[in-house]
Structure 1
Amino acid sequence: MGVKIAVFGATGAVGKEMLTILAERLFPADEVHALASRKSMGVELSYGDRTLRCKNAETFDFSSVDLVLMSAGGDVSKEWAPKITKAGAIVVDNSSAWRMDPDVPLVVPEVNLDALDGVGKKRIVANPNCSTIQLVVALKPIHDRVGIKRVNCATYQSVSGGGQAAMDELWTQTKGIYVNDPIEPQTFTKQIAFNVIPHIDVFMEDGSTKEEWKMMVETKKILDTKIKLFATCARVPVFVGHSIAAHLELEAPMSSGEARDLLRESPGLMVIDKREDEGYITPVECVGEFATFVSRVREDPTVENGLALWIVSDNLRKGAALNAVQIAEGLLNKGLLGKAG
């Protein structure tokens, strides 16, 4: 028999993408249930060539499924994940609620799949922050080869990372500017159309935002506690696709050519790096793709053993839904879920 799965938060952008990717990757599911709040009951959602009707998560019998992919926000996850695991299912959660819990694996399958062996403690697996995921996929092979001492990065994050309301706000403001409508920020703190906002999530005491803090602590938990990381995270007027300019200080020398060759043969990565017009990837080209793309690989002469990368990925896919489905595949392959027939 195959696995029985529920997608909790199925009407959101990431939830819809989870259903799409489960179908695209032919995940061996006997049953797939779409769950959301009561107000979304009956909403029709696509799952491959099938149509699912959304069910009320509050009345769903979670003992009837093996796995729940959650993308319903941190507060919902904190309330419901323990109830779901008590009923017998494993939860893969896309929110930040469980990421730093020492008893919950924080997993990027290309980087630390073996961390899934610890899932038995709470039966919850956490999906990292979207920018963290694409960053560590690119850092992993370099760290394994020569070691990374320090990372300084600037992110250029699309509005879809803020949900549907953020995407709607960019669309409304962009249209409004052309007809001289007043700009009234609601989801964002400032105008997002034709602008860049160096502020994602709340500010912390040291002046960092929580998004920047997440990248630092999550990278340490996933990759290596000794790596130092500093980030500046900005929201840009792009609908889908996050970009990162990452500057690395390595433990030992690595040329740009060596880095290109290494990254080309590493899982989950695609290197597009020609030193000519259009010889690099932008968010527009990454939308709908599974890979994390690396371009602009350069040696940085301003620090000893310096290397610079431009890293781009579809944040709704690898940054969220795809990573969650890959975790589900890892759980299945390790025999931690119901076995496919």
Structure 2
Amino acid sequence: MRTVVVLGAHTAVGRAVVECLEERDLDVQVRQATLTEHLGPGLDPIDEAILKAGDLFVLAFSGPMARGMAQGLAALKKPVLDVRGDGEGEGLFLWPGLDPAAGAALDTGAPNRIPVGLASPVVAVLQALAPFKPTWASVATYESAALFDQAGMDELSAQTRGVFTMNAPDPELFPASLAFDVIPSAAPRGGDPEAAERAFEAAVVAGAVRFGLALPVLATRAVVPSFSADAAVVEVGFAEAPDLEAALDALDAGRTLRRAEDPVMPSLDAVGRDDAQVGRVRRVDDRLRLWLTSDRLRRGSATQVALAVERWLADNLS
């Protein structure tokens, strides 16, 4: 039996990954590891023993230490799924041994990258509509505090309590207080909003390339006071837009997509679901416009990791 080690299992993404792997009943042993300061029941320390024990590693925390760990494991020819990617939370990077044809390498020199976060369901929409030859896409996002993992959700919780006690803490991760507000930037405090939008666009473009699509993508990102429920308005252009019924049929059959029972389904109803939910769809001239919701922790990263582990197991059953 192969051993999958989740590094950073104390994080919200790490916990979601463990939950998703265990739910799928894969033929693997899942071990949870973290840094010494986050140790708790069921968590192993990240040390030489755990690094030797693992056959595949899932890196669920970010920062210089995480990047160094991924590079060190890659040098040892240990395959790594880097969920947090380049620190923007927009790429599931596939390090050595993981399906080298899975995606296009980006200009950053990063290994193959599969979109995670809200970029993942956007790519799923483009994949479903690929037979109609889309020519461009525009995305307006409404992203949850889980953009910054557990720390982001904790900050939103503290700010929300502070509003009612008239003692709201100063923002640390977000550019401004998020509670009961909308921030027109997905960059961390002091970061560049346009850089965050370019990272999202690059992730969608790279994901679309995997399905034979080469098209420009424009993103406008905002963060809303939701813990893990993401939403987006996705607009896709065509030389000749498909009939609405044909487009709906394609979206119904889309991998990892599901048509919402209620076309005005709120984003919170997507929490706990693996599939992204497609709400209202409109055909306007030569384009389609649709409402998309997903659980960032489940659909954004955890499900993608589980699918990647399944592919890896299929290729490494010896």
TMscore range, shorter length:
0.7 to 0.9
- Letter aligned with residue 266 of structure 1: G
Give, in angstroms, the shift of residue 325 of structure 1: 1.3
- State the match for 1:213 in structure 2: 198
Q: Which residue of 2 aligns with 1:142?
A: 129
Aligned to 2:60: 71
Matches within 5 A, 1:1-16: 2-16=1-15
**Which shifted more, 207-216 or 256-265?**
207-216
Residue 43 of structure 2 corresponds to which residue in structure 1?
Answer: 54
Aligned to 2:159: 173
Structure 1 spans left out of the alignment, 5+ residues: 45-52, 107-112
Q: Displacement of 1:202 after TM fit?
A: 5.8
What's 1:289 paired with? Answer: 273
Residue 290 of structure 2 corresponds to residue 309 of structure 1: yes
| Cα-to-partner distance string for 1:185-236 (whole Å, 9 max, x where unaligned) | 222111111100011126999x752221112112222213631111110000
Q: Which stretch of structure 1 is more off in the superposition, 2-11 or 169-178?
A: 169-178
Distance 1:203 1:173, change over 3 A: closer
**Tell me, what secondary structure is at the counterpart of 1:115?**
coil
User: What is residue 331 of structure 1 aligned with on the other side?
Assistant: 312
Q: Which runs of 5+ in 2 are unaligned?
A: none
Per-residue CA deviation, residues 42-93 of structure 1 (Å, 9 max, x unaligned), is x12xxxxxxxx21221333423221101111142332011221333421111
Give the Cα separation in 2 of the matches to 1:150 and 1:204: 31
Distance in 1 separating the partners of 2:197 and 2:104: 27
| Cα distance in 1, alignment partners of residues 103 and 119 from structure 2 | 21
Q: How much is the aligned-residue C-alpha RMSD, in angstroms? A: 2.8
CA 70–126 in structure 1, closer or farther in 2 if over 3 Å, else same: farther
Range moving further from structure 2, 58-67 or 236-245: 58-67
Instruction: Quote the Cα distance in structure 2 between the aligned partners of 1:123 and 1:253.
Output: 35
Tell me if the contact between 2:231 and 2:293 (Cα under 8 Å) persists in the aligned partners.
yes
Residues 83-108 of structure 1: CA deviation (Å, up to 9, x unaligned): 21333421111122399xxxx659xx
Change (3 A) 1:187 1:97: closer
Which is worse superposed, 150-159 or 122-131?
Answer: 122-131
- Cα 1:36–1:105 change in 2 (3 A) is closer
Is the 8 Å Cα contact of residues 276 and 294 (structure 2) preserved in structure 1? yes
* Deviation for aligned residue 1:246: 0.7
Contact 2:156–2:225 (8 Å) recurs in 1: yes
Contact 2:103–2:112 (Cα < 8 Å) also in 1: no
1:258 aligns with 2:250: no
Given that 2:7 and 2:60 are in contact with CA atoms closer than 8 Å, whether structure 1 keeps it comes out as yes
Stretch moving more, 170-179 or 313-322: 170-179
Aligned to 1:198: 184
> Does the CA contact (< 8 Å) of 1:7 and 1:35 recur in 2?
yes
Identical columns (%): 22
Aligned length: 305
8 Å contact from structure 1 (residues 68, 92) kept in 2:
yes
Tell whether the 8 Å contact from 2:117 to 2:299 is kept in structure 1 after alignment: yes
User: 1: CA distance between counterparts of 2:49 and 2:236?
Assistant: 47
Does structure 2 conserve the Cα–Cα contact (< 8 Å) formed by 1:240 and 1:315? yes
Q: State the alpha-carbon separation in 1 of the partners of residues 167 and 38 from structure 2.
A: 32
CA distance, structure 2, for counterparts of residue 125 and residue 72 of structure 1: 19
Give, in whole Å, the separation in 1 of the partners of 2:177 and 2:102: 41
Partner amino acid, structure 2, of 1:196:
V
Alpha-carbon separation, structure 2, partners of 1:309 and 1:117: 26
Separation in structure 1 between the aligned mates of residue 134 and residue 258 of structure 2, nearest angstrom: 21
